[in-house]
Structure 1
């Protein structure tokens, strides 16, 4: 087995089922990439959030927020959270938590979407344009627009 495949298996990216809504809307390979630092679960922060909440998935329901995942894990967001444009680790926690909630529940709260988008802005502001960040931003915006449309 390759090191990347071993990492994917360790993270459960290949063995854990994704919520069907997540699987439908987030199809780019970055969402299953455990080795790409700019993928939501390829960095230490995103991988940690996914690992913790995959083990605690039964605690997640339709009221769970990205903030709840962060407060109960490695980070504690407050009013100044992500205020600094160079806080890359915090940004990666925000992005990891947002995509973890999406992956496990197929939904995301409005504040969580804002935290994720701000995290993506911080990453791109620090590193310059990043293809993976642009993909996650476009997918997240498209998802929130589609999920906000009431059924016909």
Structure 2
């Protein structure tokens, strides 16, 4: 269920919307023209969830709220801090194309936001988009690592992985790893928040995924075989056309 309402009077102009997914319900509300606040509530069953959504909608309409066409495509989507990664707080295009649970996994190191670097990058990107603090998405990974973290950024597309993995270059491994994780999180983060992806960042992210996969095999991460998660992420990202 989806419903979007608006309330306008002399001193108020605000929106309210509800959306359900299975047995979970999203409330998104605030001043018109803003992204508003998010709350996610869980219920015992999808039926209970739908019933509550209808009840809440009817209650708002009794208070003077009226239907209005919500701009789902142009809206910016930010996760609730208490809930974390969630489909209900992700752009509809992201949810439709990146359907696997791995895109909402906060624990698996290979998932876009599962590493410490990936999680931190998503959080900083969301803050920058929300506050319009920093909007150059292509340069965001370098800005984050060099200006905010005061560490070294290496553009994944520039990495000669065979050369980088030579014993004499071992000191570069942490910088390569961190750079790749941040680039990947930035690309998927832009998609999750806005539903679109800059072409240059897409190219950089595909290079980062390939770089991490080859590093993992070379260094014997996990079972020393190519990562199934990274392979899926690469295929899904390459197929995204918006």
Change over 3 Å in CA distance of 1:90–1:119 after alignment to 2: same
Q: Which has the higher strand share?
A: 2
Number of residue pairs matched? Answer: 134
Structure 2 length-normalised TM: 0.49
Structure 1 residue 58 displacement after superposition: 2.8
- Counterpart residue number, 1:35: 107
Q: Distance in 2 between matches of 1:66 and 1:17?
A: 20
Structure 1 residue 68 displacement after superposition: 3.5
2:212 to 123, 127, 149: 123
Q: Distance in 1 between matches of 2:82 and 2:106?
A: 9
State yes or no: 1:58 paired with 2:130: yes
- Counterpart residue number, 1:95: 184
> What is the root-mean-square deviation of aligned Cα atoms in Å?
2.7
State yes or no: 1:141 paired with 2:141: no
Listed as ranges, the gaps of 5+ residues in structure 2 are 1-79, 148-153, 162-172, 218-225
- Counterpart residue number, 1:69: 140
| Partners of 1:40 and 1:96 within 8 A in 2 | yes
- Counterpart residue number, 1:4: none
- Counterpart residue number, 1:24: 96
| Partners of 1:38 and 1:132 within 8 A in 2 | yes
Change over 3 Å in CA distance of 1:44–1:21 after alignment to 2: same
State the secondary structure of the residue aligned to 2:155: coil
State the secondary structure of the residue aligned to 2:144: coil
| Partners of 2:112 and 2:184 within 8 A in 1 | yes
- The structure, 1 or 2, with the larger RCO (C-alpha pairs under 8 Å, 6+ apart) is 1
Structure 1 residue 74 displacement after superposition: 2.4
Q: Distance in 2 between matches of 1:26 and 1:15?
A: 10
Q: Distance in 1 between matches of 2:127 and 2:88?
A: 10
| Partners of 2:141 and 2:179 within 8 A in 1 | no
Q: Which has the higher helix share?
A: 1
Question: Which of 1 and 2 has greater Rg?
Answer: 2
The 5 A counterparts of 1:7-22 are: 12-14=84-86, 17-22=89-94
| Partners of 2:141 and 2:186 within 8 A in 1 | yes
Change over 3 Å in CA distance of 1:39–1:142 after alignment to 2: same
